[in-house]
Every structure is written in structure tokens, then in C-alpha cells.
Chain A
Amino acid sequence: MLVCCGTGCLANGSHGVYREFEKMLKYADHSVKVKAVTKATGCNGLCEMGPIVKILPDDIFYCRVKASDVEDIVRETLAGGRPVERLLYTDPATGKRVKSHRETDFYKNQQKIALRNIGEIDPANIDDYIQRGGYRALAKALDKMSAGEVIDEIEKSGIRGRGGAGFPTGRKWRHCAGANGATKYIVCNGDEGDPGAFMDRSIMEGDPHSIIEGMAIGAYAVGARKGYIYIRDEYSLALKSMSRAIEQAKERGYLGDSIMGSSHSFDMDIVRGGGAFVCGESSALIASIEGRIGEPRAKYIHATQRGLWDKPTVLNNVETWANVPVIIDRGSGWFNSIGTGKSKGTKVFSLVGKVQNTGLIEVPMGISLGKIIFDIGGGIPGGKAFKAVQTGGPSGGCIPGSMMDLEVDFESLGSAGSMMGSGGMIVMDEDTCMVEVARYYTKFLAEESCGKCLPCREGLRRMLDILNDICEGRGHKEDMDTLLEICEALREASLCALGKTAPNPVETTLRYFREEYLEHIQDKRCRAGVCPDLTEYYIDESLCRGCGLCAKNCPAGAITGQPGSAYIINHDLCTKCGRCRRVCKFGAVGIGGGAVV
């Protein structure tokens, strides 16, 4: 029995489910004839339906399991060999119950490489990892391959950095291997500061040994003896899981001196990050490890030449490292056959926002955005219209609904004005105001910029001023040009990638949703009803049935009327929370405001 104990399921009480299983099985009567083992696993991905319990070998997939369901599972499934129907996943399209998760659209369309073990193993148990082929690649590299051959293999696989920039990993390793100096370092970036992103966290929590193995292979390839994994301090479960795994690997001789009897020695430590978003930027991360203020420096000289403590350094992100052992194990040809022309392999995304199946997914490069959002994600909840998807974290761009055929790879996302980033994917429906989205991310970036270079600090400050003005009804028509002018300065003159990509949310919303900016500026109206100063709710007399539900729900007591006749909103009292609109069963509450009313 595999009980998902990823952060999402834990928050929904999965540890209670796990304990209940342990207790039940201890005292189970002899009707349970199998010798059952319960394992707490990492994140299964379908966080929306958690806590998740999988039962092997029949591959039964239970959703939203509560501790009180455990008795039924033990009696029906373990003793009786029958699935508990009510806990099975319901296919939203057909309404039918599905026994195995493999039959669901959510899992069917995925391909798991980086997430290969997550949800299948107990991350606290190194033997689980080894049983599924773990540390085989490290043995192969040390035993049968030269350092150069390892680099060749990584280069031929075509894998590119999963942290955002997409730099070819093999080329990075080659630069570092060729750099002068006896001391070299391996660094893993587990800072993951994007709001709504949890790809790296899930890997660190659910399959920590895959990262350690990847780093040990990388260290062998470039000739490094020491590595660091930088984990943000808020990730307490990831920190626990990684430190336990490092200890285990040391005990078993996968880390330390003369690994597996070879001449290769490699050791690693965890560095805890303080939670600054900018420390996900490689040079700021290095500064932070060195104990300095987390500010980036110019990268005209790469870290592979002069990185941590000015020594040649390979810095890759968690997901990249987790891919390395599989590439070495299964060969570059296999990996290279997955994906598109310049983007090989798979990519992990955290699919969140206004989508049915929020959660963690891994898909082959080149899959269309539409397939991710509608097939895997199950579309938009509540019958709302799909509006846009933001990819690549806070400094990614918003891609409109009309571009759902877009292939998800480094090049296509870039040409659409967005980016791959580390894999955040935030879905937005018709109730989202795109100007407010741009304002929100600009505010995040203005606060999280390190503030060292002028264009980023002052540019973001002033862009935020303008966006605040537009959202609060003080926008001018020239503001759109001023925004674009500052965007250019940010993109071209900023010191690091945070500033260079920070214009994306503003530029893409201006490019694809210009009419919403115009409505805000000229008509003083927010069509989504998000910006309070530009929103006025009204009740359409012809649609109102006089049920009074809106008045009952109004927290401000702003709606009055007599049952049976149309109700009226008192605009002096209305706080524009929008609850009346959400509860009205007849669609009688409309959004007006500004020049329209």
C-alpha cells in the first residue's frame, strides 16, 4: 500500500491515513491473508484528489481517502479482493469510475523520467531506490565509462538545463571539465522561489537519491570532489528528506571517499537558503553559499570558469540532476528520441490555477499547451471560459487561449513571449483580469529584485506605479508606451536574468490583451470585476427572480429588495467582493462600472 505523503496530501491528512493503516494491519483479523506493507511515498501529482492511496500489485487507485475509509479498504480490498467503489477516481468526461490511475487522462498523457520513482517508493528507504535501478548508473559510469564518455553521453542526449535558461547541460559540463584548476564544485539549485511551483520540492521530497546520484555522476565527469545542494529553508520536508538521503548514501558508500571502490571521491552538503527569490539566480545563489549578500554579478565569465569561491563550478537545477542517472542508465539515444528538435526529453510542470486537476505533471517536450490544460488538466472548473496560461514563473508571459496548439518547448514558449522557466504553469479563466495579473507579478518582482542594478529596481518600481494607476482608474493612454519603454530598458540593461525577463508579464499582456488595458484606461472598467475601483455590480431586472440569495450572502448588507421582485445593490455600501455574482443562480448579477454604467 502506497500512501502519498507529499506536502499536498499531508496537508489533507494523509499521515493520519498512513497511521490508521499501520494500526489496522497490526490488529487485522485472519481474514487478511496477504502480508501487507504500507509505505509513505512522495507526491503522486494529482494533488487535487489527495490524499491518494495506491494498492499494488492490482494497481488500485484511491482518491481523497480519509482515515475513516481505511477500515473499508482493509476489509474490502485487502481481505475481500474488491475495490472500494466510492474511493475510486471518477473520469469527469464519462462519469465512470476508474480502477487504476493509468487509465485516467491525467496520468495516461504523461511520461515520467525525472519523476520516475516518486509515488512508487518510500523516499526514506534507500533500498526502495536501489530496487528500482538506483545507483546503477553511477556504478556504470565509474566502472565502464571515462569522465569524457560521461560528458559525451550527456551532450548527445541533448538535455538542457531545467532551471529556466535551457543551457545545454553537456556543454556546461565540458566547459567545467576543461577549466583550469584542481578544485571544482558541483552545485544543485533547489531554491525554487516561483509562487505556485513545486516541481523541485517534490523531487527532493519524493526521490532524493536520484539527485544525489546525478550529482555524483556529474562530479565524476568534471572532476569535482565536493558538492552543495541549496534548498530554501521553507521546504522543511525536502530538507529532512535530502539530509536523510545524504546520510544513507554516505553509509552505503555512494558518497564519500573511493565511491564503490573506484578512485572517485565525492561528498556533498546542504546549504539552507533564506527565501530570497533572487537566490535562484545562479550567481546570487553562489554568493549566498559563500556567505555574501544574495546579489548577482555579471556573468560574462561563466561559473564553469569562475564560480563558487572563484573555482570552476557546474550548477544545475534539481530536475536536471534527477534526469542524469536515467540518461546514463538507458543511454543518450533513448533520451534523445523524446521531445522536439532542440528540446529533448520531458519537463515537469506544476499545473495550478483555474484548472480541474491541479498537481504535478511530467510531459514530453513538444506536447501542446491545450493537451496539458484540457486533457491532463481536465479543463477549467465551473464551466468558465479559458483565458490564458502563464508559464515559467513570475517573470513568464501570459499565453492566450487562441494559442493552445503551441508546442511546449524552449523555443516555442520563447517566441510566444514567455519562457519555459523552471516549470510553473498557472491557468487563468474569464474571471481573471490580465492587467491585474501583470500588476501582481510586477509587484512580486519589484519586491524580490535584489535591488542592486538600477533598471531592475527603479524600472520595476515605476512599472508598478503605472500599473497601480491603471488598476485604480488613474491610467493615461500614453502609459502603455511608457510601460514598453521601461520594459526595453529592463530587458537590455539589467544585470541578471531576473531583470531581463521581468518585462514578460507586462509585455505579453499588452501584446495579447491590449483591449483590457484600454478598457481600464479609457472606459475605467474591469471586465473581470477584479479591480474594485473599476467595478460596479448591478442586478439585471429582467433576469432577477427575486430569490433574495444575493441579499442573504452580501457581507456588507448592500442588497435590498422584496422576495419575488428584482433586488437592488446600494453602491455606497457595496464592497465589490463579488459574492452576489457567484451565488446568483440566474446570472442576474452583472459587472458594470466606469463608462458603461
Chain B
Amino acid sequence: MRVIIDGRECLARRGEYLLDVAKRNGIFIPTLCHSDALPGQSSCRMCIVEVVEGGRSKTVASCVYPVLGDIEVKTNSDKIRRIRRTLVKLIHASSPAGKHMEDLLERYGPLPENRFEVAEGEKCMLCGLCVSACEALGTGAISTINRGTAKEVAPPFKEPPEACIGCGACAHVCPGDAIEMKEQGGIRTIWDRNFEMLECTGCGEYIMTRQQQEYIKAKDPEGTVELLCEKCKRKKTVDGFRDAFKNTGF
């Protein structure tokens, strides 16, 4: 497939998402809810671009738009810039305290005084990445609840979620730093639940929760969960190699 993005000719596989084609060719398209590990949210709509096909132009979300024919793409037309700016204003009004705003303000700021009542202190912009991460892990401890303007991310009945294993994947993928996760004295607190942390057998650093270990064990009863941090795991591998080649003359 031949795709012309902002005047540059790029090659794409059939069915490949436009955002991935642009990225591979070094063309920047802003995203908030996109994660390579959890693609296809298409909720923030910051990645909109204009696609011209057969003489007709349409606005599409590049993160989920598959390339199926020869097209021309404008990632930064006046219209697209105008709409993106409106989206940034809307995001600012609803989640001004989110970490994602730092980058947005740098790129699109300064913004005019907000016409709306700003949700002071709010960090979540409801991109849905946390829910997708939890779903992908198979835990499903959190979900979006309600619809429309009442939508929010929450555990069932807004109670500390039984299904949560305290892995922190939700907090890790959140672009807004909106999910509070605290660690103190070997206890991790997230979603109003406390989890006992297990130490790395090598260096003693806290690496995972007991529930996480149990969850992995249950998924793979035959395997063993080695309680090692990334650093110690590498060290062990290197040491293993060294021992193996010790008396071979290498």
C-alpha cells in the first residue's frame, strides 16, 4: 500500500493501522490513550487525522484506522489542529491535574481562560487504559461504570475489589497518574486494599504482592515463581553463564 502522509510517501502493509505507519516513518501524531501493549482504545481522539480517498476527505482516528487502499493523509491540517485544540481545552476542563496535561500544555499552551467550571484536582481523563490493562491480565478487578457524563472507573460497587491482586498495572499505564498507589513498610495500598509485598530473595527489594505470586502460581501450577527483581535476575543469569563456562577455557 502506498500512503502519502503530510506529503511524504510511506509504505504500509494492508490492514496496518495508520498511527503505526506514521510512527514507523517518524511522523508524529499526538496520542493520549494509546499504548503499544494495549492498542485500540480510540477514546481520546487526539490522534485524529484527515484522510483523503477518492477525492473525499474524512476525519478518522489514526490509532484504529486500517490502511486498505492508497490514501493521502494530513496529520496537521488547519481543521485537525483546530479540533485538537478544542479537545485539549475539554481535557483541561475535566482533568486539569492529570500528568498528561504537562505535555499537552507544553505543546498546545498557553490555553485561554477556561469557559467552564474546571474540575479542580481531577486527574483521570477516562481513557480506559487501566481497565484494558486489568482485563488483559485476566483479573478484571476494575471497570468503567455508568454512562455519559456520569461515567467513571471503579471497582464493583465501589468497594475494595476482591479480584484485585495489587499488581499496579492500572497505575503503571495511566497517563494521568490518576490511580493512587502507595507503598509503606512492606504494604502496598491500591483501590483501598492493602497487599503484603514480597521481597527479592537476592537484594531484599519489594517486588510483588503475595496475591500476585499466588495468581501466577494458579495460572501456571507447574512453573515456579522466582522471587527475584529484574536486577538480580540479570545478575543470576550472568553468574550462571560464568559458572557454566568456568572450566572450559573460554
**A interface size (C-beta, 8 A):** 38
B:86-142 near A, CB below 8 Å: 86-87, 90-91, 93-94, 115-117, 125-126, 128
**Chain A 290-302 per-residue mask, 1 if CB under 8 angstroms from chain B, else 0:** 0001000110110
B93 x A457 contact (CB < 8 A): no
Interface string of A457-489 (1 = CB under 8 A from B): 111111011100000000000110010011011
Query: How many contacts between A and B, using CB within 8 angstroms?
Result: 106
Report the minimum CB–CB distance from B182 to chain A (whole Å).
Answer: 29
CB-contact partner of A451 in B82, B91, B115, B149, under 8 A: B149
Residues of chain B from 136 to 183 with CB closer than 8 A to chain A in the complex: 143-144, 146-151
| B59 in contact (CB, < 8 A) | yes
Contact call A488/B83, Cβ cutoff below 8 A? yes
Shortest CB distance A474–B (Å): 11
Q: Are A485 and B86 in contact (CB under 8 A)?
A: yes
B83 near A451 with CB under 8 A, answer: no
Known: A298-B65, A300-B64. A492 touches B83 (CB 8 A): yes
Q: From known contacts A300-B64, A492-B79, infer whether A451 and B150 are also in contact, taking CB-CB under 8 Å.
A: yes
B86: nearest chain-A partner, CB-CB: A489
Q: Is B30 an interface residue (CB 8 A)?
A: no
What's the least CB distance linking A309 to chain B, in Å? 17
A60 interfacial by beta-carbon distance below 8 Å: no
A448 engages B147 (CB within 8 Å): yes
Choose, from B39-47, B192-200, B211-219, B235-243, the stretch at the interface.
B39-47
Whether A447 lies near B150 (C-beta < 8 A) is yes
Instruction: Encode contact with B along A249-282: 1 for CB under 8 Å, 0 otherwise.
Output: 0000000000000000000000000001010000
CB distance from A440 to the nearest CB of B (A): 15
User: Does A458 contact B42, Cβ atoms closer than 8 Å?
Assistant: no
Contact A300/B60 with A453-B42, A454-B125, A462-B90 known, Cβ cut-off 8 Å: yes
- Do A462 and B93 form a contact, CB below 8 Å, given A300-B65, A493-B87? yes
Chain B interface residue count, CB cutoff 8 Å, equals 34
Are A495 and B42 in contact (CB-based, < 8 A)?
Answer: yes
**B65 CB contacts on chain A under 8 angstroms:** 298, 300
- Given A453-B42, A454-B45, does the pair A298, B61 have CB atoms closer than 8 Å? yes
Residue interface bits A421-451, CB-to-B below 8 A is 1, else 0? 0000000000000000000000001111111
Decide yes or no: A488 and B43 within 8 Å by CB, A300-B65, A449-B149 being known contacts. no
Q: Are A458 and B90 in contact (CB under 8 A)?
A: yes
Contact B126 A454 (CB under 8 A): yes
Q: Would A446 and B44 be within 8 Å (CB), given that A461-B94, A462-B93 are in contact?
A: no
Shortest distance from the beta carbon of B39 to any chain A beta carbon, whole Å: 12
Q: Judging by beta carbons under 8 Å apart, are A458 and B128 in contact?
A: no
Q: Which residues of A contact B126 (CB under 8 A)?
A: 451, 454, 457
A307 CB to closest chain B CB, in angstroms? Answer: 16
A455 on interface, CB distance cutoff 8 Å: yes
Q: Which of A445, A452, A465, A466 has the most CB of B within 10 A?
A: A452
Q: How far is the CA of A464 from the CA of B64 in the complex (A)?
A: 29
Partner of A448, one of B93, B116, B125, B148: B148
* Contact code string B205-244 (vs A, CB < 8 Å = 1, else 0): 0000000000000000000000000000000000000000
A298-B61, A462-B93, A488-B86 known; A493-B147 Cβ under 8 A: no
| Set of chain A residues within 8 Å of B43, measured between Cβ atoms | 452-454, 495
With A300-B64, A488-B82, A492-B83 as contacts: A460 and B149 at CB distance below 8 Å: yes
Instruction: Report the separation of the CA atoms of residues A462 and B146 in the bound assembly, to the nearest whole angstrom.
Output: 18
Provide the bound-state CA to CA distance between A549 and B5, in Å.
Answer: 73
Complex-state Cα separation, A162 to B150, whole angstroms: 31
Whether a CB of chain B sits under 8 angstroms from the CB of A357 is no
A491-522 vs B, CB cutoff 8 Å, 1 = contact: the mask equals 01111000000000000000000000000000
CB <8 Å contact, A301 and B66: yes
Q: B79: which A residues are within 8 A, CB to CB?
A: 492
A301-B66, A454-B90, A488-B83 are known contacts. Are A494 and B45 too (CB-CB below 8 A)?
Answer: yes
Q: What's the least CB distance linking A165 to chain B, in Å? A: 15
A491→B45 CA distance, assembly (Å): 12
A301 to B40 Cα, complex, angstroms: 13
Q: Which of A301, A458, A486 gathers most chain B CB within 10 Å? A: A458
Please name the residue on chain A nearest to B146 by beta carbon: A451
Contacts of A494 in B (CB 8 A): 45
A300 in contact with B66 (CB, 8 Å) = yes
The CA of A445 and the CA of B149, in the complex, are separated in Å by 9
In the complex the two chains form, is B148's CB within 8 Å of A455's CB?
no
Complex Cα distance, B79 from A544, in Å, reads 57
Residue in B closest to A294 when the chains form the complex, CB atoms: B147
B50: nearest chain-A partner, CB-CB: A492
Contact: B148 with A446, CB < 8 Å? yes
Contact, CB under 8 Å: A455 / B87: yes
Q: Closest CB of chain B to A468's CB: distance in Å?
A: 11
Which residue of chain B has its CB nearest to the CB of A465? B116
For A485, the closest partner residue in chain B by CB is: B86
Q: Which of B59, B94, B128, B143 contacts A493 (CB 8 A)?
A: B59
CB pair A489–B149 under 8 Å, yes or no, is: no
| Distance A451 CA – B66 CA, assembled complex (angstroms) | 24
B22 at the A interface (CB under 8 A): no
Within 8 A of A (CB), among B32-90: 42-45, 48, 59-61, 64-66, 79, 82-83, 86-87, 90
Q: In the complex, which residues of chain B have a beta carbon less than 8 angstroms from the beta carbon of A464? A: 149
Which residues of chain B are near A460, meaning CB under 8 Å?
148-149
Q: Using Cβ atoms and an 8 Å threshold, which residues of chain A touch B86?
A: 485-486, 488-489
Residues of B within 8 A of A466 (CB): 115
CB distance A495 to B147 under 8 Å? no
Residue pairs across A and B with Cβ atoms less than 8 A apart, 21 shown, are A293-B143, A300-B66, A447-B147, A449-B147, A450-B151, A451-B144, A451-B148, A452-B43, A452-B151, A454-B43, A454-B126, A458-B90, A458-B94, A459-B90, A462-B116, A486-B86, A486-B90, A489-B83, A489-B87, A493-B61, A495-B43
Q: Which residues of A contact B (CB under 8 A)?
A: 276, 278, 293, 297-298, 300-301, 445-455, 457-462, 464-466, 478-479, 482, 485-486, 488-489, 492-495
Nearest first, the 7 closest Cβ-Cβ pairs linking A and B are: A451-B151, A458-B90, A489-B86, A298-B64, A492-B59, A493-B45, A449-B148
Further contacts, 16 of them, CB under 8 A, given A461-B94, A489-B87: A278-B147, A293-B143, A445-B148, A447-B150, A448-B148, A451-B126, A451-B146, A451-B147, A452-B144, A453-B44, A458-B90, A458-B94, A462-B116, A466-B115, A482-B115, A489-B83
